[in-house]
Amino acid sequence: MKLVFYPDKILKEKCAEVKTFDDALEGVVLEMLNIMHKNNGAGLAAPQVGVKKRIIVVDIDGRPFVLINPRIVKKEGREAMEEGCLSFPNLFLKVKRSKKIKVAAQNTKGEKREFDAEKVFAQVLQHEIDHLDGILFVDRLGIIERHKIKRRLRKTNKK
């Protein structure tokens, strides 16, 4: 497994639900955690390493979370915060997201759980869950700003 960078097509594809909870899933999760930590990321979604499954890993303040088939079931408030993305090296943008969310997910054993998240944790979760639906953080910008950023990225990627 290795990081996938924009404009790779997999980043815009919707991921399939995980139905099998086995040692292979555990292996994918461990590799994702290693890649995220090695690249100093706060989160990583499976399509960012070429896997089209609904898996994310997040690490805020040294507390790693693994979420299988995550979905946001409730949102509250709005706030703009700066974000980066491992698939867009050296690009940081202010993105408006919900301040507080409730997430439903499964762990690597398939056990269901729900929890609340706010501030940076909520922002990272929303960013990574977006990846599972083929939504990139640049897609959350206004149309003019999004067009400028994507044009700049295309020029950079041609070099």
Using one digit for the tens of pLDDT, what is the confidence trace for 67-117?
Answer: 999 999 999 999 999 999 999 998 999 999 999 999 999 999 999 999 999
How far is it, in rounded angstroms, from Cα 40 to Cα 23? 26
How far is it, in rounded angstroms, from Cα 112 to Cα 108? 10
How far is it, in rounded angstroms, from Cα 120 to Cα 89? 19
Instruction: Give the other-Cβ count within 10 Å of 90's Cβ.
Output: 6
Residue indicated by tokens 């930590």: 37
- Top CATH class of 9-158 equals alpha beta
Does the pLDDT value for residue 38 go beyond 80? yes
- State mean pLDDT over 12-41: 97
Domain residue ranges in the chain: 9-158
pLDDT of residue 2: 95
Average pLDDT, the chain: 94
Catalytic status, residue 128: yes
Instruction: Give the other-Cβ count within 10 Å of 92's Cβ.
Output: 11
Name the catalytic one among 13, 17, 31, 128.
128
pLDDT of residue 114: 98
Does the pLDDT value for residue 135 go beyond 90? yes
Q: Token pair for residue 132?
A: 């599972």
pLDDT of residue 113: 97
Cα 137 to chain centroid distance, Å, stands at 9
